[in-house]
Structure 1
Amino acid sequence: MSVWQPTAPCSIGACVRGGSTALASPRAVLRITALVALLLVGVVLLPVGRRLPAAWVRLYCRVMVRAAGVRMRLSGSAPQSGGVLLVANHISWMDIPLLAAVRPARMLAKKEIRQWPVAGALVAGSGAIFIDRDRLRALPGTVTQLAAALRAGGAVGVFPEGSTWCGRAQGTFRRAAFQAALDAGAPVQPVRLRYLLPDGTVSTAPAFVGDDTLAAGVWRVASTRRIVVEVEVGALIPADSHPDRRSLARAAQLTGERAAGHP
């Protein structure tokens, strides 16, 4: 692991709980089967995917999240045209379709996602920009790619914490991706994700942290009842409203926290 690569203190043993309302295995298997079927449909549609209406892509992503047994509550909206940098806190493997449900975007993703079964092909085919987190020297080139996508009028989705957290705690937004917004003159839009149980407490079942595997993470979500994810879209932050990437990153994090009701 690179010395500069962001990491979170969250771990499976210390943080993640599947909850006491586990479903019987057959229903969890049905959910996973439906999820895999939707992923395969997405892979089949990749050749024409970028020509599909954005509304269809957003609906597809919402159906995918629902197939996993998670209900989505969306508040706020993103502009559906023009360059925008969508930034969100990072908890789960489900965060990617959740951001796409706000607005289809090219994701900044770690290169390891390419190797995920089925989902990796879907993420790669959607135009994701992959980053090698072990090579600091590759970062300026990645920022250049992000800025080019924003200048072309596209949406780019980024998880600036650089690592997943359990949902009870969170990391600090790293600055690099915000330089792309400054270079392209594109606004930043914070999105706050919260996975909750029926009583309103945070659910850590969706968290994908530490040495967790994708298979274990998917099973944990599919076998836990009544998870709700709140997706709260904050106000646009014009790039020229901040002098540098540090202050822009800080403003985006504070806006996301206020959207979630934190002081």
Structure 2
Amino acid sequence: MINWVRVALCGALLVLVSLVLMPVQILCLWLDLKPRRWLPRFWHRVACLLLGLRVRVHGEPERRRPLLLSANHVSWKDILVLSSVADVVFVAKSEVKTWPVFGLLARLQASVFIERDQKRTTGHQVNEIGRRLADGEIVVLFPEGTTSDGNRLLDIKTSLFGAAASAVPHSPTGVVHVQPLAISYTGIHGMPMGRYNRPIAAWPGDIGLVPHLLGVLREGALDVDVDFGEAVDYDRHANRKDVSRTIEARIRSMLSDRLRGRPKLDRVVARAER
């Protein structure tokens, strides 16, 4: 049974924090001030805490710039999780702008909105992503184009990796770094989450947002693991499809290893500690 007192308290606290930070973020976006990049991270950390999302990070974002993060996509919670880890902006489908609450949050985070079905605007959208990358922003791309059930990586779409190519001429080193990232929902109430109950954390498109949100609150604390993989250097000689295949293989490997409970990164760390 949902603890409605907890739901009301968490909601009230999140609204209060939002009302305080929102005008500041709007001003920072308008004046192009640096806090516009890290204020969303603070808000998302508070949101993760209130929603019971316990985030564990393995590895770290590539320190060199420009940086494009490519991640698997399970749920709207991925946005909260990744935004609590680093100062990032997202590539989102255009209809997100019209969503209640989430649309506003996406705009406040300066997300890049794309028209999936409008091929004539693809070049402009790719150039906008490239401009953000060249400006030093960390851009997150969900190349599957939709959400999965959390147990596997869907086939990725390669077209938006062209954003890396468009940023290459503006990079001081002539290289854009594309880093794979795996998001794994691994536990609930501190207990391991199996493949049959992992869809509790997932948000397939045919389920309404409010019912799913209530389900998350009903189930309680979720453990989320974020694995950063080895980046691929994208220069003027790189082949977009080759880069996308490499990134796909690395995300798939990290996700599979993490869900099996014995990721390679942890094994390396364990051996080093001995």
The reply to whether residue 28 of structure 1 matches residue 18 of structure 2 is no
Aligned partners of 2:167, 2:75: CA distance in 1, in Å? Answer: 29
Q: Does the 8 A contact of 1:31 with 1:222 survive in 2?
A: no
Instruction: Give 1:29 shift.
Output: 3.7
Question: Which consecutive residues of structure 1, in runs of 5 or more, have no partner in the other structure?
Answer: 1-21
Cα separation, 2, equivalents of 1:139 and 1:80:
29
Matched residues, percent identical? Answer: 28
Indicate whether 1:193 and 2:173 are aligned.
no
Contact between 1:80 and 1:103, CA under 8 Å: does it hold in 2? no
Query: TM-score, structure 2 length as denominator?
Result: 0.78
Q: Which amino acid aligns with 1:43?
A: M
More divergent stretch after superposition (120-129 vs 80-89): 80-89
When residues 224 and 246 of structure 1 are mapped into structure 2, their CA distance, relative to the original with a 3 A threshold, is same
| Shift in CA distance, 91/257, structure 1 to aligned 2, threshold 3 Å | same
Question: How far off its partner does 1:37 sit?
Answer: 3.9
Cα RMSD of the aligned pairs, angstroms, is: 2.5
| 1:192 Cα deviation from its structure 2 partner | 0.5
Q: CA deviation at 1:99?
A: 2.1
Shift of residue 56 of structure 1? 5.5
Match of 1:71 in 2: 54
1:205 aligns with 2:197: no
SS at match of 1:108: strand
- Give 1:110 shift: 1.1
Q: Matched residue of 1:204: which SS?
A: helix
Choose between structure 1 and 2: higher helix proportion. Answer: 2
- Do the aligned partners of residues 78 and 252 (structure 1) sit closer, same or farther apart at CA in structure 2, a change above 3 Å counting? same
Mapped partners of 1:54, 1:90: distance in 2: 22
Give the secondary-structure state (helix, strand or coil) at the position aligned to 1:124. Answer: helix
- For 1:218 and 1:182, the matched residues in 2 are separated by 38
| Letter matched to residue 117 of structure 1 | P
- Number of aligned residues: 242
User: Which of 1 and 2 has higher RCO (CA within 8 Å, sep 6+)?
Assistant: 1
Give the CA deviation at 1:67. 1.2
The 1:167/1:261 distance shift into structure 2, 3 A limit, reads closer
Runs of 4+ displaced beyond 6 Å: none
Amino acid at match of 2:101: V
2:130 aligned with 1:147? yes
- Quote the Cα distance in structure 2 between the aligned partners of 1:80 and 1:103: 11
Counterpart Cα distance in 1 of 2:128 and 2:209: 28
Residue of 73, 84, 92 corresponding to 2:75:
92
1:18-167 paired onto structure 2 within 5 Å: 23-46=2-25, 47-48=27-28, 50-52=33-35, 57-79=40-62, 82-167=65-150
Q: Which moved more, 1:234-243 or 1:213-222?
A: 234-243
Give the SS at the match of 1:187. strand
Whichever of the two has the greater Rg, that structure is: 2
Structure 1 residues 202-234: Cα deviation after superposition (integer angstroms, max 9, x where no partner) = 522232212222222222212212311111111
Matched, 1:239 2:229: no
Q: 1:260 aligns with which of 245, 255, 271?
A: 255
**Aligned partners of 1:62 and 1:72 also within 8 Å:** no
Which residue does the alignment assign to 1:226?
Answer: 221
- Gaps spanning 5+ residues in structure 2: where? 169-175, 258-263, 265-274
Aligned pair in 2 of structure 1 residues 43, 163: CA closer, same or farther (>3 Å)?
Answer: same
Structure 2 Cα separation of the partners of residues 45 and 117 of structure 1? 20
Are 1:40 and 1:118, in contact at CA under 8 Å, matched by a contact in 2?
no
Matched residue of 1:249: which SS?
Answer: helix
| Cα drift, residue 169 of structure 1 | 3.0
Residue 63 of structure 1: how far off its partner (Å): 2.3
User: When the two structures are superposed, what TM-score results if normalisation uses the length of structure 1?
Assistant: 0.81
